[in-house]
A and B are shown apart, each in its own frame.
Chain A
Amino acid sequence: MDMNRWLDGQRLVVCVGSGGVGKTTTAASIGVWAAARGRKVMVLTIDPAKRLANSLGLDAIGGEGARIDLSPVAPAEGGSLHAMMLDSRGTFDAIIGRVAPTEELRDRVLSNTVYRYMADSFASSQDYMATEKLYDLVSSGQYDLVVLDTPPVKNALDFLESPGRVVSFFDERVYGWFVDTYDQESVKGGFFGRKLMASTSAMVWKLLSYVLGEEFLGELASFFKDFQALYEGFRERHDAVLSMLRAPGTAFVSVCAPNEASIEIARYFQGELSARALPSHGVIVNQVHRCEGEVHDAAALLGDTLDGVAPGVDPSTRAAILARLGMAHRRLAKLAQGEQELTGAVRSVLTPEQFYREVPRLEDEVHELGSLYEVGKHLFEGP
């Protein structure tokens, strides 16, 4: 697969993967490479932005974004690189404020106990805000390519679908039944209420109030009622975000490291992406150990070199260090072999249309433009 041609065809690249696998570095490298090829690129990170800033050689980047000096890699005409942190500090309360048709309704929702719980833990407002901003940025058409570094969590895909979570939470059938039953039950003293209530519904309601308590059901019902008016706003946004993520020119890339946990998560992502009909374009394995040598006799190979750098070293120290190096080399070779077996599990689930790239563990931390470009070489050039 021609990796450069692939990259030229993308408008949004989403890097997903667990933490500690060099996802930020990968996102930054893709950005640097594309910019060097003459495109106008934005690299986005959620949080913490410090890692992206560091890898680009900056102290910090804020919600405003920063333009990166590309001169060390001599970019082609028109190439520029920008980095931004998706500022997700806004709260879910603010979103409610925006979608609520009246102030009175907004206040009622905001003070509901069920809502308070939701806003704190369920709806994950940060994710929601970040998704909105991503959408704005991509659809603004300001950049040729946007590269997104997702948060280092297993549910990175949930993050992208957070508007959808709000939508499915309010499945109309459920809350319709709920609100109706609640209304009928609350007037059940009256003749009509009793009559209209289907017997199963009444039974179910009784059970619910037994298990969950009347007060809680009341809170839930009034919350559902108020939220109906807000539902449409969430649904529209959800549809727009989903179509952006499925549009031609959007590519999801799984980033992982060659250890069991990370590989398993990468495989899991592959499955999740296809289950959600999101375009999974390939897998990048970072931090791969390479060890080709099959002999482990350090004394024979390195004895002279050691004498060169440390003449007159104590013979027992000399023997000890050479033995250590031989043992370490043997272990490294075994590790490298084990990693190849592990990555085999990922390679085996890829289709011919998807790419597979390895980046060797680099001896120094990658934290400046030059080394990001080196990583880019491993990704986009070479075998």
Chain B
Amino acid sequence: MKELLKDLNKAFENKIRLGIMSVLVVNEYTDFTSLKELLDVTDGNLATHLKSLEKSKYITYVKEFKGRKPNTRYSSTSEGKQAFIRHIKAIEQLLR
């Protein structure tokens, strides 16, 4: 049991962070607004969680301009993908 719990990632305990990772694992990239709409969260809330995932090096971003509007595109790193898959596998094991 302890072995299993070790694989459950603290970074993904939070629902919004789990949601962000779900989106970024299946999409090449997603911008801030789409993430906000998909997860139905506020700007500040989303930004906080994005920052924490960034700190764990699970996601990266590219800032660019669409016309005059800044547009940030987020994508998951391979580290993040692996961590996410380990987390899901641990959940599945736990439920078995």
Decide whether A and B assemble into one complex.
no
A-binding residues in B (CB < 8 A): none
B-binding residues in A (CB < 8 A): none
